[in-house]
Structure 1
Amino acid sequence: MALPDFLVIGVPKAGTTALHAALTRHPELFLPSVKEPKFFLSSGPPPARGGPGDAQTYQEHLWRQRDYEALFDPAPTDTLRGEATPFYLYDLDAQNRIRRLVPKARLVVLLRNPVDRAHSNWTHLWAAGLESERDFVRACALEGARRDAGWADFWHYVSLGLYGEQLAHLYGLFPREQVLVLRYRDLRDSPERTLDEVCAFLGVATGRLSAVPSENVTPYVADTPVNAVLRAALRTGGRIGARFPVPVRQTVRGPLLSALQRQSGGRPKLTPAQRRAVLPYFLEDIARLEELTGLPYDDWRIIGDEPDVID
């Protein structure tokens, strides 16, 4: 069977796309061009409805095993096969499915300050025209109602950042030597050393990768009347677009998204007041993560700034 030897399982907006791009350059590794195949997120067809844009995202799931295995068919002999879907850590059922199908797979986890991760997540959906709530703190508070309405995981700004809870479940399924936990800031600030750590963990040659490409960086989108109209149009398309073939959706959505993201400039900054308002969601889980890993995460409790370089 053409199944993966390793998985990058988490977390969204913590450099997983950049790590995927870097690992594809290693001659002993094979990662398919499809990033986030999402195979382990469902045991059958994914839901058909959810929040804005969710129906189209669900259509991207490779939920048939034969289609998933086909991703790895081109892998050269003697290479390790892997893929990156950063929602696998968050979805506990996905963890269970991984354990059943590929119990010996090595698992790579990237963790980011949960407040910064949530803000980057909100910024991503805002820039895509899908997020209607212009206030980040308010968007976090809306999570419960959105979850109850069946909105997809990417809308779970707070819950996606409860790493202690997620890792505790993972460690109940896999021995710790099969799990590598890294920090986003290390990939950002010390890419060569961090990539060597990943390669050593996977059992392939180190010293082959030295840079992490900047991938999936969210563009700047100002809150203007014109952009409000464009975002509304994109959200409407997100609700009804699943009824149309992909080429039709792309033809309509492309110009709208280009117009929305036409401006250049810095991304919206997370203010100390916003950080102070959102941080309490995570304090208990940060303590749990520290107890679970034996590592300090004191910097996540600081009301400060973290620069966004890679996502």
Structure 2
Amino acid sequence: MSLPDFLVIGVPKAGTTALHAALSRHPELFLSRVKEPKFFLSEGPPPARGGPGDAQTYQEHVWRRADYEALFDPAPDGALRGEATPFYLYDLDAQNRIRRLIPKARLVVLLRNPVDRAHSNWTHLWAAGLESERDFVRACALEERRRDAGWAHFWHYVSQGLYGRQLEHLFGLFAREQVLVLRYRDLRDSPVPTLDRVCEFLGVQTGLLDAVPSQNVTPFVADTAANAVLRAVLRTGGRIGHHFPAPVRAVPRGPLLTALQRQRGGRPTMTPAQRAAVLPYFTADIALLEQVTGQSYADWLTVGLEPDVID
């Protein structure tokens, strides 16, 4: 069977794309050409509908087992096979499916300050023209309604950051030595030692990876009247685009995104008031995370916004 030996399972907007790109350069590792195949997120076909753009995202899921295994067929003999889908940690059913199919897999988790992660997530969807709520705090407050409406994981700004309960469930399924928990800031500030930690954890040679490439950095998008029109058009495309093949969808979407993201500048940052409003969503879970991991995350209660250097 061509199944992965390791998975990067979390979390979105915490450097998983950059880690995938870095590990792909190691001669003893093979990572799927498809980043985020999302195989373990469903037992069969994913839902057909959800929030803006979700239907197209669901069409990208590699949900058939034969197709999933085919992703790893090109792996050289002896290479460890892996993939990165950062929603696996958040989706407890996905954790269960991983345990049933590849119980000996090694799992890599990247955690980021949950307030900053949520803000980066919101900024990403705003820049893509899919998020209609211009106020970050209000967007977080809308989560329960959106979840009830079936919007996909990437819209769950708050729930994705409840790492304590997610890791508590994971450690009930896998031995601690099968899980490596890292911080986003480690990959950002000390990339080479962090990559060596990952390689040592996976059992491959250290000292071969010397950089983490900048990946998936969200551009600045201004809140202007013209951009509001472009965002509305993109959201409309998100609702109806699943009726058309991907190459057809890309024809109008590409120029629209280029136009939307044409303005460059400093990224929007949270105000102290916004941080104070969102932080209470996470304080109890941060305490649980400390109990589950035995590590302190007290800095998440005070640290400022982390720059999106390697998202």
- Give the TM-score normalised by the residue count of structure 2: 0.99
Partner of 1:8: 8
Kindly report which structure 2 residues correspond to 1:253-264, keeping only aligned pairs within 5 A, or say none. Answer: 253-264=253-264
Structure 1: gaps spanning 5 or more residues: none
Q: Distance in 2 between matches of 1:118 and 1:82?
A: 26
Instruction: Kindly provide the amino acid, as one letter, of the partner of residue 70 in structure 1.
Output: A
Identity of aligned residues (%): 82
Partner of 1:270: 270
Q: CA deviation at 1:271?
A: 1.6
Q: Distance in 1 between matches of 2:287 and 2:72?
A: 39
Instruction: Kindly provide the amino acid, as one letter, of the partner of residue 185 in structure 2.
Output: R
Partner of 2:225: 225
Partner of 2:308: 308
Q: CA deviation at 1:116?
A: 0.2
Q: CA deviation at 1:308?
A: 2.2
Q: CA deviation at 1:282?
A: 0.0
Q: Distance in 2 between matches of 1:71 and 1:266?
A: 38
Partner of 1:60: 60
Q: CA deviation at 1:307?
A: 2.3
Give the secondary structure class of the aligned counterpart of 1:249: helix
Give the secondary structure class of the aligned counterpart of 2:9: strand
Deviations 1:250-269 (A, max 9, x none): 00111111100111111111
Q: CA deviation at 1:303?
A: 5.5
Partner of 2:240: 240
Q: CA deviation at 1:304?
A: 2.6
How many residues align? The count is: 311
Q: Distance in 1 between matches of 2:21 and 2:278?
A: 31
Partner of 1:143: 143
Structure 2: gaps spanning 5 or more residues: none
Q: CA deviation at 1:273?
A: 1.3
Partner of 1:181: 181
Partner of 1:216: 216
Instruction: Kindly provide the amino acid, as one letter, of the partner of residue 15 in structure 2.
Output: G
Cα RMSD after superposing both structures: 0.6
Give the secondary structure class of the aligned counterpart of 1:118: helix
Q: Distance in 2 between matches of 1:175 and 1:303?
A: 31
Please say if 1:288 is aligned against 2:288.
Answer: yes
Partner of 1:100: 100
Deviations 1:47-76 (A, max 9, x none): 000000000000000000000000000000
Kindly report which structure 2 residues correspond to 1:70-149, keeping only aligned pairs within 5 A, or say none. Answer: 70-149=70-149
- Give the TM-score normalised by the residue count of structure 1: 0.99
